[in-house]
Amino acid sequence: MDIIQYTQEHRIFRDAVKKFLTREVIPHIEEWEEAGIVPRDVWKKMGAQGYLGMSVPEDYGGPAADFLYEVIVIEELARTNFTGLAARLHNTVVLPYLIEYGSEEQKHRYLPGCISGDIITAIGMTEPNTGSDLAAIRTTAVEDGDEFVINGQKTFISNGINCDLIVLVARDPAVVDPHRALDLFLVEAGTPGFEKGRNLKKIGWHSQDTAELFFSDCRIPRSNRLGEKGTGFRKMMEMLQQERLVVAIGAQVIAEFLLENTIAYCRERTVFGRPISRFQNSQFEFAEMATEIELGRTFIDKMIVEHMEGRDLTREVSMAKYWITDMAGRVADRCLQLHGGYGYCEEYPIARAWRDVRIMRIYAGSNEIMKVIIARTLGL
C-alpha cells in the first residue's frame, strides 16, 4: 500500500506538469546552461499554467492547493535533471513566509504577482561570513522614523539576478541577544541602495542565477517588515522544516532518475560482447543502489504525510536531509562509474547530475549541521 494517497486530480496534475516541462523546459536546457540563467518568460508560462503559488489562499488569487501539488512540481522538475528553474524555492521556501507572516496589505500587494510569475522571489540569509549559523548574521536594519535603513551583503542567493522581491534577514544592532535581534524584511528590486552583484560561476547549477546582493543605506518603509519586531529567528526556525524536506524530496527523485537512466544505459552498452548490465559487479551495484533508494522513498513519503498533518519533524527532517542527499551523491558517483568514460562527457545526463547533486549536501543547512541537530534531539 502506498504511503501517500494521491487522488485522480493529483495524477492528472502530474501528467500536465510533465507535458509542460517536456514542451517548455527540456528542449532549452543546454541553451540556458550556456547562458547561465533561465529567461523570465518561463516563469510567466509556469504561472499561466497554475504551477506557481499553489498553496496561496484564494483571497489572494491562489488555489489554496494541498502540499501534494507542491510535491508533484518539485518531483517533476527534479526528473528533468535540471536545476536552473528554482520554482521550488519560490513556491515552498519563500512564499510561505509571506503567506504565514505577511500583513493583509503585503499579501495583496505581492502574492498575485508571485502566482502569475511577474514577481520572482528570493530569500537573503547567507552572508560571506555566515552560512548555517543564522544568529551570526551581520546585515543591519536600523529604524529611522518611518523607514528602515539596511546595510550589508548577502551571497549564494538563488534567483538573485532575476528576483523582483527578496525576503531579507537583517539584525537590529542595538539588540544584544542575537536570537531577538533578527527580523525579516521585504525588499523590492530597484530600491535605491539595493544592488545585485555578479552571477556566480559555480561547479554545477550553471543556469541557476546565484548572486551576491549588496545593501548600502537602502531605505524601505517600516511596513515592509514581516511580523512583529524580534521574531525573525523564530520564523526561520519554523520554516526550515519544510525547506529541508523539500531538499530531501529533490535529492530522492534525482537518485531515482539516475538509477533508471543508468540501468537503461548499461542494458545497451556492451563490453566483451555482452551488456554491462549482465556483469555480476554491475548487478550488485544496482541492487545496492536500489535498496538505498527504496529506503529513502519510504522515509520521505512518510515525512510528507506527517508534515501535512502538522507534526514537528525537526529530527526526522534533519535525518532525511543529510542521509538522502548523501545517498544521492553516492548514487551519482556509482552511476558515473558505470557509464565509464562517457559518463564524464557533457552529452550524457549523468555528467550534469553528478556535479549538480553535490551542493545539496551544503545548502539549507550543511549535513554536518543536520547531524548536530540530530545529536541534540538525542540529549547529547
Give the three-state DSSP class for 60. Answer: helix
Query: Is 243 among the catalytic positions?
Result: yes
Cell representation of residue 259: 538509477
Are 171 and 191 a contacting pair, CB within 8 Å?
A: no
The single residue of 127, 212, 243, 292 carrying the catalytic annotation is: 243
Three state DSSP letters for 116-159 = HCCCCEEEECCECCECCCHHHCCCEEEEECCEEEEEEEEEEECC
User: Residues for the chain: how many in total?
Assistant: 380
The string of DSSP letters for 14-43 reads HHHHHHHHHHHTGGGHHHHHHHTS--HHHH
Are 107 and 39 a contacting pair, CB within 8 Å?
A: no
In whole angstroms, what is the distance from residue 88 CA to residue 253 CA?
14
Give the closest residue to 322 by CA, choosing from 258, 248, 257: 248
Q: List all residues 6 or more positions away from 341 whose beta carbon is below 8 Å from its beta carbon.
A: none
Are 17 and 76 a contacting pair, CB within 8 Å?
A: yes
Cell representation of residue 125: 540569509
What b/e sequence results for 247-268 when a residue is b if at least 16 CB atoms lie within 10 Å of its CB, and e otherwise? bbbbbbbbbbbbbebbbebbee
Give the closest residue to 357 by CA, choosing from 230, 259, 217, 218: 259
Instruction: Estimate to the nearest angstrom the gap between the alpha carbon of 48 and the chain centroid.
Output: 21
Are 114 and 56 a contacting pair, CB within 8 Å?
A: yes
Active-site residues: which are they?
Answer: 243
